[in-house]
Chain A
Amino acid sequence: MAKIELSFYPGCSSQKGATSSNYLVSAQTMCEELDIQLNEIPDWNCCGASIGYGGGGELPRLTLSARNIALSEEHNSGQEIVATCAACWLSTREAKERLHEDEQMFKDANAALSEAGLKYEGESNVRHMVEVLVEDIGFDGIKSKVKKPLEGLKIAGYVGCQTNRPFGIAGESFENPQYLDKIVESVGADSIPTYEKKVQCCGGALAFSEPEKSQEMIKGIIEAAYDNGADMIVTPCPLCQANVEIYQDNINETYGTKFNMPVVYYSTLMSVAFGRSATDAALNGQVIPAKKLEEIANK
């Protein structure tokens, strides 16, 4: 497999000491094994995520992503932009499409960017890491790198919202995407294609502002994983991961449940299956330990 070089937008939550720093560690490990080189966009900024709209409005919000694209085109010229975070990917791609469709918005964004000495062209492709896995590496490509198959593990593929809608992964349906299950199978574990909560919303940013309403939905996501006999949940989204993992204590208190369901990233599974250590797979970043993965990693 030829080396793949990408202009990488890691996003705020992946930074050291932030909620999905474990995602970054495992994604980097995964990319090392797949010969993917991630060239970080120099001086990238926050994309506004899915909640910044209320303070930022339209043009200021879109300009945030335009700055990242402009920086990528200036410093990582000719490389496709890739994000691991669902909201980062969505915002960047949305900004690109909107500025492409709307000539005035394109001019206005450039007027704002010129204040920072930047110019937006918007020629780069904006992709999510799972697109690179599915389209460039392929399931067989993933399979060929597996040294320790995750045999005996049953894993519920929780795709969530923003990796799936509105853009989604080419060739997949919005209502019943299959690629995450195929990744699970590729690393030697058992998938649950009929996991009915695979695209259920976890509340997203409203987990902070409307905790009761969100936790009711999160409860359903975890309950369905138990009902399907899952050992753990896997997800491609940092906010899904955090929301479904870290509020299990609160949900247990509210609903009298006894949830203790590990929630990991696809990159965690792949790092372990590719034979890397528990630390390289960032298993030490779990709030609810994924003991069965630790056992395989430590074998």
Chain B
Amino acid sequence: MSDLNTAMIEKYRSSFLKEVEANVEEGEWVKMCMQCGVCSGSCPLGKHWEHPPQEIFMMIRAGKRDDVLSSDSMWMCTSCYNCIARCPRGLPITHIMHGLAVYSKRLGLTPQKQPTAEFSQIFWDNLMKKGRVNELKLGLSMYFKDGFGQGIKNAMANQKLGQNMMKAKRMNAMEFFGGHSVKDLSGFQKMVKKAQEIEEGNIKDFK
């Protein structure tokens, strides 16, 4: 292929598609979508997506950067993997949606108070503290994420559920004071920090 041809191809290619290919997990697959819509029809929360996956793929190719990255659609993914199992072209759709969600969050474009975006961060922060999830603190962080007053209301509303779980010994109040942990916590945290630094370093600048 001539250099001129290559240059023209680059010129006419959507830069947002290039951005997604470079910076979004499994983003290089987006161009393979054939717009059949099986993913959208297979999604258990499909009716709650402002733009279902099929549409997201087309919007990426049409360069609708802001509409895609500021949408809360990707956060509707429950990680059920129906779309991956059914996609005729084998696109890893679940991972692309996760990747888009992460990228939107990294750029600060995720809608404020998007509950799954918040929960996802709370979950990650929770597991980072001890290397293992502390379920009690995870539940409390979710209840209290919108302030103390709302937290008390949420806790009261779910009081029976909590009591049921305590009775079945599947929730433990003592987890509040420490709880389960990996032994090599410092090694664990250093490892994750390094992985984060490498990942940050791989982000390419667009726009």
Minimum Cβ distance to chain B for residue A66 (Å): 9
Contact A210 B44 (CB under 8 A): no
Contact of B123 with A51 in the complex, beta carbons under 8 Å:
yes
Query: Which A residues lie within 8 Å of B13 (CB)?
Result: none
13 A-B residue pairs with Cβ-Cβ distance under 8 Å, sorted by A, are A17-B174, A20-B170, A53-B101, A54-B101, A116-B188, A117-B187, A161-B81, A166-B81, A201-B78, A203-B44, A203-B78, A205-B120, A208-B119
User: What chain B residues lie within 8 Å of A45 (beta carbons)?
Assistant: 127, 131-132, 182, 188
A108 to B197, CA, bound (A): 10
If over half of A's interface residues share one DSSP class (helix, strand or loop), that class is named, otherwise mixed; here it is loop
**Cβ-defined contact, B170 with A54, below 8 A:** no
Q: Residues of B contacting A209 with CB < 8 Å? A: 115-116, 118-119, 142
Report yes or no: B120 in contact with A46, Cβ–Cβ below 8 A.
Answer: no
- Are B168 and A49 in contact, CB atoms less than 8 angstroms apart? no
Looking at the complex, which one of A44, A46, A63, A201 makes contact with B82 (CB distance below 8 Å)?
Answer: A201
Chain B positions within 8 Å of A44 at CB level? 182
Q: Which residues of A contact B (CB under 8 A)?
A: 12-13, 15-22, 43-46, 48-60, 63-64, 67, 108-109, 111-113, 115-118, 161-162, 165-166, 168, 174-175, 200-201, 203-206, 208-210, 213-214, 217, 242, 246-247, 249-250, 284-287
Known: A53-B120, A56-B124, A118-B187. 19 other contacts (CB 8 A): A17-B171, A18-B170, A21-B169, A48-B127, A51-B120, A53-B98, A55-B120, A55-B125, A59-B198, A60-B195, A109-B195, A111-B194, A112-B194, A116-B191, A165-B85, A174-B85, A174-B86, A200-B44, A204-B78
Report the interface size for chain B: residues with CB under 8 A from the other chain: 67
Contacting residues, chain B, for A22 (C-beta < 8 A): 168, 170
Q: Which residues of A contact B135 (CB under 8 A)?
A: 12-13, 18-19
Write the chain A residue with the least CB distance to B128.
A55
Q: Answer yes or no: B121 CB below 8 A from chain A CBs.
A: yes
Give min CB distance, B113 to chain A, whole Å.
11
B102 within 8 Å of A (CB atoms): yes
Whether the pair B80, A161 counts as a contact (CB closer than 8 A) is yes
A206: chain B residues within 8 A (beta carbon): 45, 76, 78, 116
B164 touches A52 (CB 8 A): no
Interfacial residues, chain B to chain A (CB-CB below 8 A): 25, 44-45, 48, 75-76, 78-82, 84-86, 94, 98-99, 101-102, 105-106, 115-125, 127, 131-133, 135, 139, 142, 160-161, 164-165, 167-172, 174-175, 180, 182-184, 187-188, 190-196, 198-199, 202
CA distance A118 to B187 in the complex (A): 9
Question: Contact check: which of A15, A109, A111 meets B132 at CB < 8 Å?
Answer: A15
- Shortest distance between the CB of B202 and any CB in chain A (Å): 8
Assuming the contacts A12-B132, A108-B198, A113-B191, asked whether A57 and B102 have C-beta atoms less than 8 A apart, the reply is: yes
Instruction: Decide: B45 and A54 in contact? CB cutoff 8 A.
Output: no
Instruction: List, in ascending order, chain B residues with CB within 8 A of A285's CB.
Output: 168-170
State the Cβ distance, A96 to closest chain B Cβ, in Å: 15
Set of chain B residues within 8 Å of A174, measured between Cβ atoms: 85-86
List B contacts of A117 (CB < 8 A): 187
